[in-house]
Amino acid sequence: MPFAKQRENIYLDIKLSDAGRRLLSLGKLKFSKAIFSDREMNYKIGRTPSVYSIANNNVLNSTMSAPTFSAMTNFDGTPAIDLANRIRYYDRTVTGLTQGGMFSHITGDTPEIDYQLTLRGGEVRSVDVDGGMQIRLNANYPWNRGNWLGNLILARWLPPTGGITTIQQKTTRIPLVCLWYRGEDIKTASIIFGTDRTIPNFGALNVKPSEVFSYPWSGMTRRYGSGSTFSTVVWNMNITRTSPEFGYVTGSTSAHTSFSSIEYNGMKHFFGFDDNYRQVGFIHYTNAYTGKTFGDRLLEGTMELNMPILLWWRKPEYNPGFGDVGGHTFYDKGSPKLYDSVARTTYTLLKDGTDANAIVVGRVYQKLGIIVIMDPELLTVLSYKGNRNWALPPLEVSLSSLPTSTASTESVSGLCQSGKTYLVTYVPECNTVYSTSGSKVISYGYQQAMHCGYIQRVDYSNDSSGRDMYLRATFPSRSFPYMRSGAGATFFSGTGWIANHINILVKEMATSAFTGIDNVEATGWTKMVGNGRWGTSTAALDPYHVQAKQFVMTREDFTNGSEYALGAWFNNDNLGSVANQRNQLHNSGLTYGDETFFYGDIKCTHAIDDHVLGITLELSSIDFNSSKNSTFDGKLDDSTYITEVALFNEKGVLVGTAKPSYPIRKNYNRHIVMRLELVY
């Protein structure tokens, strides 16, 4: 009974000779003939297989100056193979999975802080979290002055509430408040260092430890950004702003020099993010000495942007106040490929989920290897000066013909006036000292944080009776997952955040003067009173009630309000008057634009698009089973071995070779298909 001989596929890469490279540069490279060679073989040494196998020989690597051949014939004496109809050209995409960032994944899917990327870690007792501008480390932890002074400090605060009592229990999945500071002057006993602004006040209760980590100032430039000095798994992040923050009322208001990562303002303009965007964030991998680590491009639909310490506002799996797992991942999965006519390249949409209601927070420019964050609230949280890691939902703003049920159109006036445009946002506030009432928490003691980054616009309109209308604001449902009520703060062991008040902020301006949010002045925002303020200093707001709250504001609420101004830590020289501080040789201050690395993980598939020239050569079972090699003896040797394929152009010039790592065995039992590839 006959059996089909085994057919084997073998792939070899072509390496061009010096002559081939010259012809390629001139656009004149052609492949016309090919020969098989065994010139590196000495068949005598393989005639006792039990002693030595020729297949174990190493074949010399191809060189650009490889010696040519005395004759254009195969090793068995047959003529060279004509390559006509054996060559084809095609494109090929090679992909690979990439994951990198500031966190390790030693416990499965749970991201943990990668201690190798920190300078130092330490513990702070809650009794020492006293609302001052300093951090006192537990003396039992190792201390090194240089690891804290002038560097960035990430504090994972744990208020003195509930059952979490040790650092070991606080994984990144627990929704703790995590805030960035700048380590400044060293104080008493070398375990106390100053901070750029006030820390929380836990009421001198010695109950729980918080933990702090030191990260290098200008980390991408001095530490993470050079592949020659460090394992460069960290991505860059630069947030550029072209207008002052709303509520900034003192000091310099120069947008490009005080409020952004100024090196990247040109990128904001390049992508066309101008009048309708006050700030844009760029996450990119452009580190020194690392080559094309992520290939030619990122693959569409594979981006996963994970931020383990972010407390995102849209978590449909949680009822308000019941979020017990922190962190959030953003995806471009399912996004269509879109074209940016300004940047002249394609991109996909980065969303905060894969469900039907997911919102767009940015774009992924695959060919440029850049992730652009456009969501103003996400950028607020990513900024060190935001003073919070919890994100706030956008207001839903409209006009109402009626005031609240306790008033009438005769007793109170509509807020909106003819010819005016109204910009609306809000700011939650809490008492700045930890306090409780019985088993309920009133305040954790965190300091004031930045207002919501979402700004809503509504233009004047009158009602059917011609009266000015009232301004109405509500919140979307299921949008405060990590906000805690007084009882919830205890139940969830001091995690999440608390608000005692919510204040609506309104800016009134002429409709004709509004030319884009980026051109709106920082001053002139009114902090509403009456129907525009809700809450009490003696209790934490319940997130269930907050999401159902309806603010209907009158003209009186607006005219009796006060001008909104950011707190002292936002308005002193830590925010604006010292431009671009990371390039200054001093160890104090923290401004917008000081963000240089992305504190999260990125997982995606990278791709390299190859242009390939392929040559297919077939060696049947009856071909190339003898050799003109002087050491070959047809009576003693039952196989030949191929060590090289030589390629010639139409003039007989050796233009390339393809060599295996080990000799390729050929005999009557082997049918070989050899595929040669040149990638360029």
Asked whether residue 79 falls in the same domain as residue 157, the answer is no
pLDDT band at 170 (very low <50, low <70, confident <90, very high): low
Domain presence at residue 99: no
Tell me: pLDDT of 259 over 60: no
User: What's residue 144's pLDDT?
Assistant: 55
Question: Of the candidates 518, 544, 569, which is a domain's last residue?
Answer: 569
Instruction: Pick the more confident residue, 246 or 424.
Output: 424
Domain presence at residue 101: no
Asked whether residue 637 falls in the same domain as residue 602, the answer is no
Taking all residues of the chain, what is their mean pLDDT, rounded to a whole number? 85
Cα–Cα nearest to 201, from 438, 433, 529: 433
pLDDT band at 4 (very low <50, low <70, confident <90, very high): very low
Domain presence at residue 102: no
Asked whether residue 426 falls in the same domain as residue 544, the answer is yes
CATH code, domain carrying 172:
2.40.10
Asked whether residue 82 falls in the same domain as residue 189, the answer is no
Cα–Cα nearest to 638, from 627, 650, 653: 627
Asked whether residue 355 falls in the same domain as residue 421, the answer is no
Residue 641 · residue 663 · CB < 8 Å: yes
Q: How many domains does the chain have?
A: 4
Rg (CA), the chain: 34
Asked whether residue 379 falls in the same domain as residue 494, the answer is no
Asked whether residue 335 falls in the same domain as residue 408, the answer is no
Mean of pLDDT values over 34-59: 82
Domain presence at residue 626: yes
Domain presence at residue 104: no
Rounded Cα distance, 627 and 629, in Å: 5
User: What's residue 291's pLDDT?
Assistant: 47
pLDDT band at 629 (very low <50, low <70, confident <90, very high): very high
- Write the pLDDT tens digit of every residue in 523-556: 999 999 999 999 999 999 999 999 999 999 999 9
- The first and second tokens of residue 504, run together, are 């609506």
Asked whether residue 116 falls in the same domain as residue 128, the answer is yes
Give percent of the chain with pLDDT exceeding 90: 56
Give residue 632's domain range: 6-92+611-679
Asked whether residue 72 falls in the same domain as residue 200, the answer is no
Domain presence at residue 261: yes
Strand 370-373 relative to strand 192-195: parallel, antiparallel, unpaired? unpaired
CB burial readout 587-624, b (16+ within 10 A) else e? bbbbbbbbbbbbbbbbbbbbbeeeeebbbebebebebb
Asked whether residue 146 falls in the same domain as residue 171, the answer is yes
Domain presence at residue 225: yes
User: What's residue 95's pLDDT?
Assistant: 72
**Coil, strand or helix at 156:** strand
Question: Of the candidates 569, 598, 631, which is a domain's last residue?
Answer: 569
DSSP E strands: which ranges in 31-151? Answer: 33-37, 81-82, 87-101, 103-107, 110-113, 120-125, 134-136
Mean of pLDDT values over 625-635: 94
Tell me: pLDDT of 2 over 90: no
Q: Given the structure tokens 């992040």, which residue do they identify? A: 237
Instruction: Pick the more confident residue, 493 or 228.
Output: 493
Asked whether residue 10 falls in the same domain as residue 133, the answer is no
Asked whether residue 238 falls in the same domain as residue 264, the answer is yes
Question: Of the candidates 569, 592, 620, which is a domain's last residue?
Answer: 569
3-state helix, strand, coil split of the chain in percent (to 5) is: 15, 35, 50
- Write the pLDDT tens digit of every residue in 570-620: 654 444 444 444 444 456 778 787 888 899 999 888 888 788 999 999 999
